[in-house]
């Protein structure tokens, strides 16, 4: 609705008009209500023309609200003919699940970041539409860039670009990868205070469908043990499970060398200078600890008990000297009940080289029972291997049951040595010593053990981030080849993860990743004779929560075209 004012020789008249699109695509307007002439209105709503104008604008606002309300409750009559066939090439099904990640895309102001890139490079294509569609497609239907373009063509809002524009945009996105990450971090504070006083760091790798090394794609120790070149990724995550930054490095490089450059970027570009660095033992060398012992930083790093020196290992495995974490009461582990579910610890000063630290060892009876159950099953499988004689050790699998099978050379009556296998009970007893045990080292010498352990326990979330990126968003295998486009591919996966984690966080802890992604993928709509849409998904508690956190509703029995356009605007933060 809008205000129309017409002037004639003798009068100035005020109207409320409504714009609409005709069948031929042209726009027109119709008078909804005549408010009166200026001379008539000034008597009641004066004394000046400005007063009349203010009143008239308010009437337009009220009329608009009334129209919207009427539209929501308006009965729509549509006629179907059983003898009419579908039109050729007519799209009937539309994907609508992208509207929810779209809400967080715009809350992170990624459209503003794209505007800065457009102003810098002066290209003609819409990089905001390209980046957003690639992210939504990665969440809903992860595939190649060509397939993502096809997926985007099924969205309620069609792509405003061509397929070749995507590949041009990938070069820009790859070259501006660091800039985009730093801008997203700055904008993320608009969604609330970031818990960046704790930063978790971990590395993973991704394989390529190629046979020869090329650039940073090198042969290395891949997580999937595939004979393909890989590239490695290091990633920081904050204390709330939201990814912070990532970097890529060659597949044959030591992952410990990846930390320093990325942490330098976090310190300089992001302005994060005071935080606790938390990682597993593989990324907790003495050099890395020293990096994070400087300034206002600290570290909490897991420690392999098996790799401790002889004296420290003996102390760690000694079942005396423990305290209960909940109340600090001294406890003898040999005296706790078998079904106990508590958590116990002991700590001591620890200086393996030159850096003074604190070694904290914990014991969980519940975890010990779990480890024993798993090992007992593996021992049974080892016994079956011995009985069948089919013994094949998997060197790459640390949980291979064949590790409990030993072998010895036996010589009888001067004959050649015969290799015989046996169940290695010493190996079994040695592993049992570590059941339920866990250790961390830290330079927080005076902090409460309970707080330190709580921070360390959060490491599972960064592993979950990598799992989502690899499994749910199918970040590998990687099909692009140019270095800039490889960076762009992982940037898209990273941004998809950031957006998903914010959506997941706002939903609370009530829904699993599988539930959320399956629901988003199912939220499709049928176009009913070009009059509007009918939702094709099942309304439930999850859909109600999605609508609540995003500020719009799509669960009406029928949604008019104009209502759907309003929903699309709301998903972009535009009323």
Q: For residue range 345-359, what is the model confidence (pLDDT) as tens digits?
A: 999 999 999 999 999
Structural domain count of the chain: 2
Residue 277's Cβ-count burial label (10 Å; 0-12, 13-18, 19+) is buried
Q: With contact defined as beta carbons under 8 Å apart, do 301 and 360 qualify?
A: no
Residue 86, token pair as written in the block: 């579908």
Q: With contact defined as beta carbons under 8 Å apart, do 194 and 240 qualify?
A: yes
Tell me if 398 is assigned to some domain.
Answer: yes
Tell me if 182 is assigned to some domain.
Answer: no
CA distance 168 to 485: 9
CA atoms within 13 A on the CB side of 267: 17
- pLDDT for 217 equals 47
Among 415, 432, 449, give the residue marking a domain's end: 432
CA distance 15 to 17: 6
CA distance 369 to 141: 40
59 is in which domain, residue-wise? Answer: 2-73
CA distance 80 to 293: 72
Q: Average pLDDT, stretch 100-122?
A: 97
SS3 552: coil
Tell me the C-alpha to C-alpha distance, in Å, between residue 194 and each of 295, 493, 495, 498: 20, 21, 16, 13
- The two beta strands, 298-302 and 276-279, are parallel
Tell me if 423 is assigned to some domain.
Answer: yes
> Is the pLDDT assigned to residue 71 strictly greater than 80?
no
Q: Render pLDDT for 300-330 as a digit per residue (tens, 0 to 9).
A: 999 999 999 999 999 999 999 999 999 999 9
Tell me if 114 is assigned to some domain.
Answer: no
Q: With contact defined as beta carbons under 8 Å apart, do 172 and 134 qualify?
A: no
Q: Render pLDDT for 379-434 as a digit per residue (tens, 0 to 9).
A: 999 999 999 888 887 766 778 899 999 988 777 665 656 788 899 999 999 999 99
- Of 197, 201, 397, give the one whose Cα is nearest residue 281: 201
Tell me if 480 is assigned to some domain.
Answer: no
Q: Render pLDDT for 445-456 as a digit per residue (tens, 0 to 9).
A: 999 999 999 999
> Is the pLDDT assigned to residue 374 strictly greater than 90?
yes
Q: Render pLDDT for 474-510 as a digit per residue (tens, 0 to 9).
A: 988 777 888 999 999 999 999 999 999 999 999 998 8
- Of 504, 517, 489, give the one whose Cα is nearest residue 233: 489
> Is the pLDDT assigned to residue 231 strictly greater than 60?
yes
> Is the pLDDT assigned to residue 125 strictly greater than 60?
yes
Say which range, 63-67, 99-103, 515-519, has the weakest mean pLDDT.
63-67
Helix intervals (H) in 226-339: 259-268, 286-291, 310-317
> Is the pLDDT assigned to residue 131 strictly greater than 50?
yes
- pLDDT for 89 equals 85
- pLDDT for 18 equals 87
Residue 78, token pair as written in the block: 């549509």
Tell me if 43 is assigned to some domain.
Answer: yes
Among all chains, which residue has been given the structure tokens 């699998």?
397
Mean pLDDT of the chain: 90
Tell me if 320 is assigned to some domain.
Answer: no
Say which range, 237-251, 252-266, 480-494, has the weakest mean pLDDT.
252-266
CA distance 527 to 93: 6
- pLDDT for 394 equals 75
How far out from the chain centre does Cα 310 lie?
42
- Of 289, 241, 234, 240, give the one whose Cα is nearest residue 266: 234
Q: Which pTM does this prediction carry?
A: 0.82
Q: With contact defined as beta carbons under 8 Å apart, do 155 and 95 qualify?
A: yes
Among 14, 46, 73, give the residue marking a domain's end: 73
Q: Average pLDDT, stretch 226-250?
A: 89
- pLDDT for 416 equals 58
Tell me if 388 is assigned to some domain.
Answer: yes
Say which range, 1-5, 210-214, 447-451, has the weakest mean pLDDT.
210-214
Among 30, 58, 73, give the residue marking a domain's end: 73
Among all chains, which residue has been given the structure tokens 């006629």?
79
């Amino acid at each position: 609705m809008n205000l129309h004012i017409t002037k004639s020789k003798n009068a100035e008249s005020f109207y409320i008009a409504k714009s609409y699109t005709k069948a031929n695509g042209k726009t027109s307007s119709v008078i909804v209500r005549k408010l009166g002439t200026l001379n008539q209105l000034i008597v009641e709503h004066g004394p000046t023309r400005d007063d009349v104008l203010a009143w008239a604008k308010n009437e337009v606002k009220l009329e608009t609200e009334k129209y919207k309300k009427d539209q929501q409750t308006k009965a729509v009559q549509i006629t179907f003919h059983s003898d009419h066939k579908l039109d050729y090439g007519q799209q009937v099904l539309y994907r609508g699940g992208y509207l929810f990640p779209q809400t967080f895309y715009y809350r992170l102001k990624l459209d503003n970041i794209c505007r800065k890139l457009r102003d810098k490079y002066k290209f003609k294509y819409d990089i905001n539409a390209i980046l957003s569609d690639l992210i939504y497609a990665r969440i809903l239907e992860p595939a190649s860039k060509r397939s993502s373009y096809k997926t985007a063509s099924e969205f309620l809002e069609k792509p405003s670009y061509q397929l070749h524009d995507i590949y041009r945009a990938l070069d820009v996105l790859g070259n501006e990868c660091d800039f985009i990450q730093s801008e997203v971090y700055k904008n993320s504070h608009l969604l609330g205070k970031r818990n960046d006083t704790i930063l978790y760091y971990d590395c993973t790798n991704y394989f390529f469908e190629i046979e020869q090394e090329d650039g940073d794609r090198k042969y290395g120790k891949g997580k999937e043990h595939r004979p393909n070149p890989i590239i490695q990724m290091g990633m920081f995550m904050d204390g709330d499970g939201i990814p912070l930054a990532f970097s890529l490095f060659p597949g044959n490089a030591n992952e410990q060398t990846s930390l320093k450059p990325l942490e330098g970027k976090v310190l300089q570009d992001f302005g994060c200078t005071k935080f606790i660095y938390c990682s597993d033992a593989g990324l907790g060398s003495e050099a890395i600890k020293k990096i994070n012992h400087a300034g206002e930083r600290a570290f909490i790093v897991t420690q392999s008990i098996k790799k401790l020196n002889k004296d420290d290992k003996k102390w760690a495995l000694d079942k005396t000297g423990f305290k209960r974490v909940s109340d600090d009461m001294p406890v003898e582990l040999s005296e706790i009940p078998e079904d106990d579910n508590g958590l116990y610890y002991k700590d001591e000063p620890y200086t393996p080289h030159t850096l003074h630290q604190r070694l904290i060892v914990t014991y969980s009876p519940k975890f010990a029972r779990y480890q024993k159950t798993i090992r007992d099953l593996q021992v049974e499988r080892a016994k079956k291997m011995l009985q069948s004689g089919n013994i094949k050790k998997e060197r790459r699998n640390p949980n291979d049951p064949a590790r409990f099978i030993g072998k010895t050379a036996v010589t009888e009556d001067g004959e050649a040595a015969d290799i015989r296998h046996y169940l290695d009970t010493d190996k079994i007893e040695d592993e049992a010593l570590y059941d339920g045990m866990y250790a961390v080292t830290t330079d927080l010498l005076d902090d409460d053990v309970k707080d330190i352990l709580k921070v360390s326990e959060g490491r599972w979330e960064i592993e979950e981030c990598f799992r989502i990126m690899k499994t749910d968003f199918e970040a590998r295998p990687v099909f692009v080849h140019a270095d800039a486009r490889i960076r762009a591919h992982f940037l898209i996966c990273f941004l998809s993860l950031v957006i998903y984690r914010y959506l997941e966080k706002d939903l609370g802890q009530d829904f699993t990743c599988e539930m959320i992604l399956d629901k988003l993928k199912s939220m499709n709509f049928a176009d009913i004779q070009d009059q509007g849409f009918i939702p094709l998904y099942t309304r439930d508690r999850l859909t109600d929560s999605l609508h609540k956190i995003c500020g719009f509703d799509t669960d009406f029995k029928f949604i008019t075209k104009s209502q759907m356009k309003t929903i699309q605007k709301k998903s972009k933060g535009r009323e």
